[in-house]
Amino acid sequence: MNRRTFLKSFVAVFICKWMPGIALAGTSTNPLPRRSTNKRTTIQRAMARQSGFTTDMHGDVMLSAGDYRLLCTLTKRIARLQVSAGHGNFAVMDFDTALNHAHYDPHIGSFTRAETDFMEEIFHQDARLYGFMGRKPLQQITDSVQKQEFVRIPGTGNYLFTGRSLATYRRMSGDVGNELILTSGIRGIPKQFYLFFRKAVRTKGNMSLASRSLAPPGYSFHGISDFDVGSVRLGSDNFTRLFTRTDVFKKLQDLDYVHLRYTERNHLGVRFEPWHIKVI
Ligand SMILES: [Zn+2]
């Protein structure tokens, strides 16, 4: 099938035999939301999505069986790429470099034409199709971060943009103390592909469900400014509501220059993320 036409069928909700654990997500097609949609209805939908970030919902958009198989193979290839390049390097890697790196490393293997076409389709897909209503700060799949634009934050394995991001993080560290840690910084396009695809594999191809807790590639503000913080004591639970019980979060609430990208009652169709710092 021509990749350019696959998105037309993409909106159909598939319930397949190879998805033994998947719940019935819906039975109708889910056309692109139109701008003329009643604003209150749009907001209500977005807020309903917020609370359903762990479960399938009626009208969710799912991949076809064939595309889900491709997604699984592709995600494994990107995982090998991340190991080969190193997590830090991979986080700031651009798309073309990722393709080249894979091509010359036999342990990764070149991305196939079907895989690169799939990534292009996903990147250029309007995420409102999934119910994700956030803005898209990166418009080109080849958008890259220049070396002079970022610095490594010691002890974290993460990078931050110099300028406002770095200044905000340092100010926060000074005000909150050593308990505050950087848990995720800059994410280039390939890194966001990997995180979003890994989530979509776990959701059995439910792209809407994946987008309720991870911005699709191009839509993440980690690509231009934002970063995540946590408490040194919490580990992976920093990305859960447990973070709101920590002293770090309580101290952050008192800082008037700290703002969250995805607030508790946001209208973007994204879960509450008390750890995600909005920079611009
Ligand atoms: Zn984040």
Token pair for residue 173? 């560290």
Q: What is the pLDDT of residues 73-110, one digit of tens each?
A: 999 999 999 999 999 999 999 999 999 999 999 999 99
| Nearest by Cα to 269 from 38, 57, 34 | 57
Ligand 1: centre distance to CA 10 (Å): 27
Ligand 1: centre distance to CA 264 (Å): 14
- pLDDT at residue number 270: 93
Asked if residue 21 has pLDDT above 70, the reply is: no
Ligand 1: centre distance to CA 18 (Å): 32
Ligand 1: centre distance to CA 71 (Å): 23
Contact between residue 1 and residue 50 where contact means Cβ atoms under 8 Å apart: no
Ligand 1: centre distance to CA 276 (Å): 4
Asked if residue 67 has pLDDT above 80, the reply is: yes
| 161 bridge partner residues | 150
The mean pLDDT value for 15-19 works out to: 33
Q: What is the pLDDT of residues 166-190, one digit of tens each?
A: 999 999 999 999 999 999 999 999 9
Q: Record the pTM.
A: 0.85
Ligand 1: centre distance to CA 66 (Å): 30
Asked if residue 31 has pLDDT above 70, the reply is: no
Ligand 1: centre distance to CA 184 (Å): 7
Asked if residue 214 has pLDDT above 50, the reply is: yes
Ligand 1: centre distance to CA 103 (Å): 30
Write down all domains in the chain, each with its CATH number in brackets: 3-278 (3.30.1380.10)
Asked if residue 206 has pLDDT above 50, the reply is: yes
- pLDDT at residue number 30: 45
Spatial separation of the C-alpha atoms in residues 191 and 29, rounded to whole Å: 30
The mean pLDDT value for 135-141 works out to: 98
The greatest distance separating any two alpha carbons of the chain, rounded to the nearest whole angstrom, comes to: 56
Ligand 1: centre distance to CA 222 (Å): 6
- pLDDT at residue number 130: 96
In the predicted model, what is the mean pLDDT of the chain? Answer: 87
Q: Which of 40-44, 53-57, 99-103 has the highest mean pLDDT?
A: 99-103
The percentage of residues in the chain with a pLDDT greater than 70, rounded to a whole number, is 81
Asked if residue 10 has pLDDT above 50, the reply is: no
Residue with tokens 């064939």: 66
